[in-house]
Amino acid sequence: MTLGNGLEWMKKKKRIGSIFRILVILGLIYAGFLQYKISQSSNVDTPKNADYLIVLGARVKGTVPTLAFASRINAAAKYALENQDTIIIASGGKGSGEEISEAESIKRELVKQGINESMIMLEDRSTDTYENIHFSKKLIPREAKSGLVVTNTFHLYRALSIARDQGLDVQGLPAKTPLKAVIKSYTREYLAITKFYLKRYIL
C-alpha cells in the first residue's frame, strides 16, 4: 500500500467512525424520546368510575398468564373492585401454546379475585394490539363515555395511541412491568413503536 493510499484509507476509516458515532448518538436520543413518551403515558392519575375497561391480553402458558399478563389482570381487578359499575372487556385470542384464549384467562383470573362474571365481556378474536382495540370497540355499550385501557407500563403509550387513532377517547390504567421482563419488554416495545410510527406517518 502506497503512502497516498494509506492516507486515503485512514480518512475513510475516520469518516466511517464519525458516521457510526453520530448514528449511536441519534439512536440514544431516539430511545430517550421513546422512553419519555412511555413514561408520560404511565405517570398519570387514573380517573374513577370509568364506564369500561379494556384489558389487553398477553401470552398464556397453557392456562396460566405470564407475569406481565398477570400484572395487567391484577390492576384491572383492583380497579373493578373499587369501581363496581365499570364494565370489563377482556381482550385477546388464542395463540400458539395457549390452551384457552387470553380473554378467557382474564375472565377466570378476575372471577377468582371476586369480580362479578356478569360484568365481564369477552373479545377472543384478536391477535395483536390493533385488533385488541378494533374488536373491543364493537363491545363498548353505546351509552358509555369514559374508558380505560389496561396494560403494562411499557405498552401503554402505543396502546393508547392505537386506541385514539381508532376514535376512542380513553385513558390508561398502567400495570407494573415485572423486573425480570423489563429489558426484553422495553427493547421489543421500542421496535414496535418504531413500526407503528412508520405505518402512521410514512407507509
- 47-71 pLDDT, tens digit per residue, is 999 999 999 999 999 999 999 999 9
The CATH number assigned to the domain holding 146 equals 3.40.50.620
Polymer length in residues for the chain: 203
- Residue 151 and residue 66 in one domain: yes
- Residue 104 and residue 20 in one domain: no
Using a 10 angstrom Cβ sphere, with 0-12 exposed, 13-18 middle and 19 or more buried, the burial of residue 57 is buried
- Residue 25 and residue 109 in one domain: no
Q: What is the pLDDT of residue 96?
A: 87
Neighbours of 33 (CB within 10 A): 11
Sign of CA dihedral 115, 110, 43, 137: negative
Q: What is the pLDDT of residue 15?
A: 84
Q: How far apart are CA 123 and CA 104, in angstroms?
A: 9
> Do strands 87-91 and 52-56 pair parallel, antiparallel, or not at all (unpaired)?
parallel
pTM: 0.88
Tens digit of pLDDT for each residue in 116-155?
999 999 999 999 999 999 999 999 999 999 999 999 999 9
Amino acid at 70: A
- Residue 68 and residue 154 in one domain: yes
Mean pLDDT of 74-99: 95
- From 138, 76, 141, select the one nearest 102 (Cα to Cα): 76
At residue 20, does pLDDT exceed 90?
Answer: no
- Residue 57 and residue 130 in one domain: yes
- Residue 36 and residue 51 in one domain: no
At residue 2, does pLDDT exceed 70?
Answer: no
- Residue 39 and residue 114 in one domain: no
At residue 99, does pLDDT exceed 80?
Answer: yes
- Residue 83 and residue 22 in one domain: no
Query: Domain count of the chain?
Result: 2
Q: How much is the mean pLDDT over the chain?
A: 92
- Residue 55 and residue 125 in one domain: yes
Eight-state DSSP code of residue 140: S
- From 157, 153, 173, select the one nearest 165 (Cα to Cα): 157
- Residue 157 and residue 182 in one domain: yes
- Residue 147 and residue 161 in one domain: yes
- Residue 104 and residue 38 in one domain: no
Query: Which of residues 25, 43, 61 is at a domain's end?
Result: 43
Q: What is the pLDDT of residue 3?
A: 54
Structural domain harbouring 30: 1-43
Mean pLDDT of 154-176: 95
